[in-house]
Amino acid sequence: MINKVIVNADDFGMCEGVYLGILSAHKNGIVTSTTCMMNMPYAQVALEEAKKFPKLGVGVHLVLTLGKPLTKTYSFVDENGHFIKINRQPELAAKVNKDELYIEWKAQIEKYIEITGKKPTHLDSHHHVHMLPELIQTAIQLAKEYDVPMRQVENVYDTYEFVPCEKDFYDEQVTVEYLKEVMEKYENVVEIMCHPALVDQWLYDSSRYSLKRMKESDVLSCQDIKEYIENNHIELINYSDLEKNK
């Protein structure tokens, strides 16, 4: 059984319902960490509200598949200037200009720093695109440059202790029983990725995974899972608590 767990809510700042739902799942549940989408309309207000919750770790959710970039780019946008859906067509990752990608993702990190006055707790990405073989070296480069941890599935970045990411708390797996299975499966520390939200109209219209986010909110905040964590002496942490490797 694990000793520590990071419960990270993705998509902070995507819309009003998402950022409010994440803050609620932190205040009333087991969410300890989140990552903000810096190109989305509610990024700034979400980060300002997060300042009220000093125990909530906040990182950057690097974006390449939703909305528009912060910089002028050509290799990963469509004719309307929106990000192309690399998550649905991963073969397009080979066409991404790495210099443009570095500039865009760096701009997203710098916008976070401009708003918060500090560097993010860690980096991950929307739809996990930073883990694609063609893109992961850019993510590692930025993680090293800013000296922050990065979400990993395999141990490819060894500056900080390796934390495996459990990505399957999703859809039909959103149950208290599944959370308990995850915590019994791993040793030391694990990140559980989640997507709690209060569903507003934008989210309902824009995401195929909308109403089920409310079920995530309920599971992550239920008394059963909170008592299980307490009774098994599992420490809830965020990425800022990780040790650097010597």
Residue 177 lies in a domain: yes
Among 220, 145, 122, 214, CA closest to 180? 220
Q: Which helix (H) or strand (E) holds 102?
A: helix 98-116
Q: In this model, does residue 162 exceed pLDDT 90?
A: yes
Residue 198 pLDDT more than 90?
Answer: yes
φ, ψ dihedrals at 176, nearest 5° = -65, -40
Closest by Cα among 112, 109, 126, 119 to 193 = 126
Please report which confidence band the pLDDT of residue 147 belongs to, taking 50, 70 and 90 as the band edges. Answer: very high
The sign of the torsion formed by the CA atoms of 44, 50, 51, 56 equals negative
> CA angle, 19 as apex, 105 and 79 as ends, to 5°?
45
Domain that holds residue 15: 2-241
The band of 93, judged by pLDDT with boundaries at 50, 70 and 90, is very high
Q: Please tell me the predicted confidence (pLDDT) of residue 27.
A: 98
Task: Enter the pTM of the model.
Answer: 0.96
Residue 246 resides in a domain: no
- 133 inside domain: yes
Q: Which amino acid does the sequence have at 234?
A: I
Model confidence at 246, in pLDDT bands (50, 70, 90)? Answer: confident
Number of domains forming the structure of the chain = 1
Mean pLDDT of the chain: 96
Looking at residue 80, which CATH number applies to its domain?
3.20.20.370
Label residue 137 exposed, middle or buried (CB < 10 Å: 0-12, 13-18, 19+). Answer: middle
Answer for the pair 143, 80: CB distance below 8 angstroms, yes or no: no
- Please give the Cα distance from 106 to 16 (Å, whole number): 25
What DSSP letter does each residue of 30-65 carry, written as one string? S--EEEE-TTSTTHHHHHHHHTT-TTSEEEEEE-SS
pLDDT at site 1: 85
Q: Helix, strand or coil for residue 150?
A: strand
pLDDT at residue 143, rounded to an integer: 98
Among residues 138, 168, 140, 142, which one has the least CA distance to residue 152? 140
Of the pLDDT bands very low, low, confident and very high (cuts 50, 70, 90), residue 14 is very high
Confidence (pLDDT) at 41: 95
Separation of alpha carbons 132 and 18, rounded Å: 25
